[in-house]
Each structure stands twice: as structure tokens, then as C-alpha cells.
A and B are shown apart, each in its own frame.
Chain A
Amino acid sequence: MAANTAAVSLTVNGKPVTAEVDPRTLLVQLLREHLRLTGTHVGCDTSQCGACVVHVNGKATKSCTVLALQLGGANVLTIEGLAAPDGPLHPMQEAFRENHGLQCGYCTPGMIMTAVDMVRRKGNDLDEHTIREELEGNICRCTGYHNIVKAIAAGARAMRGTSAAKAAE
């Protein structure tokens, strides 16, 4: 293994971060192993499952398929940054809780970050077909999706007019 490392500076959940990393470091490794933000999960590591989805400059991105060094200057939002630490849950998180949109919870951070991005792009009135199409890149092995779809529709409605819609940007 080459000993070369490089520095990268970016913003994570509103805080400036600088890290010295092996160039091979994926964004998800920077988050989990360097910053100890373990809410972002790795389900597949092959870009398929969506457990690792975070927002990069406001857009849903699979953090297992981006290098940390590609993100110098970028703004990253993870599940930890969605709601204030001591405040209430984000409306989309609350909708997943309320609608029993999770069982083991492994896919949930990626589902929620994908859902918030979906609202940004498609608005607050999401029909079932749209939600299912948009979840193409998110796999859940537990729920059968039914309650996830319900939760996203409810969360999208609840986000209407809240600053939560803006916080995701």
C-alpha cells in the first residue's frame, strides 16, 4: 500500500471539516471511520442498495461511490444533520416512525435521505407510483416497501411549508 495521503476540506452537517486521507477513501469511510458519523450505512458497497445515500451539495448521492477527495469544497448532509440534535425529528423521520416505515432500520437512513431529496425534486404531493419509481436505487430487505411508501407520502406532505424542506439544501 502506498503511503501517500492528501488533505481534503469540506462541510459536513454545517461544520467545516479537514481530513488527511488515503486517496482511496470513499466518502462513506470519511463519514463513518474518520468523523464517526455511523448513521450512514454500507449495505452493498457496489452502488446498488442506497443504504449509504447522503446529500452532496443538496443532491442524493451514494457515498460508497464517491471519493472523499472528489468533494473538496462540497457541502455534505447526513442523517445526523437532518434535525437539530436536541430538537424534534425531521418531518420525514417522524413519518417513518409514525407509519412503521422500518423494521431492522439498516436501510432507513438512506431511505430518508432519498425521500427528502425526492421532495426537493418532485414536490410535496407524491403518488405511490412516483415514490416506487424513485426508490429504484434503495433496497429494503425487511418491510416489503409498503410502509416506506406510506411514510414517504406522509413525510412529503408534512414537509410542506416547513423550513425542513430548506434545511435539506
Chain B
Amino acid sequence: MYAFTFHRPQTVRQAASLLAKNQEAKLLAGGHTLLPTMKLRLAGPPQLIDLSLIDGLAGIEQSGRSLTIGAMTRHNDVNTSPVVQQAIPVLAKLAGMIGDPAVRHMGTIGGSIANNDPNADYPAACLGLGVTIVTNKRRIKADEFFTGMFSTALEPAEIITKVSFPIPKKAAYQKFRNQASRFALVGVFVSKRGSDIRVAVTGAGSNGVFRVSSFEEALKKRFSPKSLEGMTIPADGMNSDIHGSAEYRAHLVGVLARRAVAEAIGKSAA
């Protein structure tokens, strides 16, 4: 690691002012992406700003038809929360699919979406549920937040404080794991809330998480795996690497979308 100085602010305002003073500084949440990256010297922030002492950044709350999860909430706490399990069971399940138990004790939702790894799970849930990401400055819709692989709409000195999830009527996530890293080779999240139907894909696109409007249109007619029968997406713009070709990933998007819709309507996967 390159050398850095370490800061533990008590409030979001203090953290933001530290960030504003040094554009190269980085926030530290669970550290389970940032520290490995720093060990590889792919990142070398001169200052680390640890968010863990700030009150009120972690926690889960439901009010009416929306569920709010604080940025510093650990994956394990989302996975085991009775509130999440009841309101959006698929979200609890998805959090339990991230990494391993020790990773889930440290990793946070805020860190995961700020990082926007093209193979990460939470970005699919956020885009697939149409969440609102709340920062110290503003509220950002998921559709505007994820702007490309490892990039987001966050500005310098902007800190995610929480994520607000509308509670869907039906939702499911299908993750096809990369056998080595166990991240998503392809993951498809589907949801239905009134007439709002969303299909979000992680792992496949070379530009990070994306929505599949052709699938969404087809599902508007009828929310059933049959509506997607024979449908696929073009291989253009899909990732291609030793783990799978662009064509293979495009194929998986169709297969996993059908399985996810089947799961969402309570049918066993075809």
C-alpha cells in the first residue's frame, strides 16, 4: 500500500469537509473493495476517511411502501433483517449471496453501489427496483446513478447516506456465479410494481449494470416467463473474457430473466 493518513470523523459534515479539502482522499466503508485495491496499488489515496464512527449511517427502516437502508449497513444485517425479509425478501436473499460470511460482516451497501463493480449484486437490485440514492447533497434516481463500469453520478465530496427502496409487488434475482470469484458472471433482477416493470442485468455488460427495455416491454403484456420465450439480447456491448464470451453472456441474460420471472410469480424455474 502507498502511505496515507487516517481520519475518523464523527459526522457526515466533517467527512464531507475532509473530502472537499483533498480531492484524492477516499471514504472507507467496509474496506472490502478499497483495501484489496490499495494493496495492489491500484488505488493510493493520501487520506482515508473512515465512516464507521458516524452515527445514523447504518440501519434499516420501513415506512409505508418504502424501505430505507443506511449506507453503512453491512450485507449480513440486510440478509438477516426480519424487516427486509418481510418487505423485500429477494433483497435479503441477494445480500446473503454476496461473498462469504466474513465479507458480509464488513461489506456495506453504500460501498458496493459507490464502487459500481460491473459484476456486483447490489447495483442490479438498485436498478431493478428503481431505488433512490440519498446523499449529503441530493437524491439520485438509480436510472441516473449508475453511469458506467466503476463509475457513478457521485460528485467529489458527495457521500451516500442511505438508499430508499420502493416495495415491489413481485421481484426475484437470479445469479449465475463466476466459478472462481463467485461474483455474478451474469445476474438478472426483475421486479413488478403496478405498471412499473424492470429488468436489470449485472455482470454481462461492458458498461456495467443496465436495463433491458425489450424484455420490460414484453413483460408489460403479461408478467410471465412465456412472454420472454425465445427472446435474447444482442452480444454487442457484452463483456467477453476467459470466463465467458459475449454471446454466452447474452444468452445467459435471456435464460436468467425467464428464471427470475418464474421465481417472482412463484413458479419453479424452467
Chain A residues with CB under 8 Å of chain B are 1-2, 4, 6, 22-24, 26, 45-47, 50, 53, 56, 59-62, 65-67, 69-70, 72, 114, 117-118, 121, 134, 136-138
Whether B32 and A70, one on each chain, are in contact in the complex, defined by CB atoms closer than 8 angstroms, is no
Whether A65 and B101, one on each chain, are in contact in the complex, defined by CB atoms closer than 8 angstroms, is no
In the A-B complex, the 10 residue pairs with the smallest Cβ-Cβ separation, listed nearest first, are A137-B100, A2-B3, A136-B100, A23-B6, A59-B105, A24-B1, A69-B6, A62-B102, A60-B102, A137-B102
12 additional A-B pairs beyond A24-B4, A65-B31, A70-B28, beta carbons within 8 Å, are: A4-B5, A23-B3, A46-B39, A47-B32, A47-B36, A50-B100, A59-B105, A61-B106, A65-B36, A66-B35, A136-B101, A137-B101
Whether B3 and A65, one on each chain, are in contact in the complex, defined by CB atoms closer than 8 angstroms, is no
Task: Encode contact with A along B6-47: 1 for CB under 8 Å, 0 otherwise.
Answer: 101000000000000000000010011001100100000000
Bound Cα distance from A61 to B8, whole angstroms: 20
Q: Which residues of B contact A60 (CB under 8 A)?
A: 101-102, 105
- Nearest residue in B to A68 (C-beta to C-beta)? B6
Chain B residues with CB under 8 Å of chain A are 1, 3-6, 8, 28, 31-32, 35-36, 39, 48, 50, 52, 76, 80, 99-103, 105-106, 182
> Taking chain B's interface residues, is the majority helix, strand, or loop, or is none over half, making it mixed?
mixed
Q: Which residues of B contact A65 (CB under 8 A)?
A: 31-32, 35-36, 106
Bound Cα distance from A136 to B105, whole angstroms: 14
> Taking chain A's interface residues, is the majority helix, strand, or loop, or is none over half, making it mixed?
mixed
Bound Cα distance from A22 to B8, whole angstroms: 15
Q: Can you report 29 A-B residue pairs in the complex whose CB atoms are below 8 A from each other? A: A2-B5, A4-B3, A23-B3, A23-B5, A23-B6, A24-B1, A24-B3, A26-B35, A46-B36, A47-B36, A47-B103, A50-B100, A53-B102, A59-B76, A61-B102, A62-B106, A65-B106, A66-B35, A66-B106, A67-B6, A67-B31, A67-B48, A69-B6, A69-B8, A70-B31, A70-B50, A72-B8, A136-B99, A136-B101
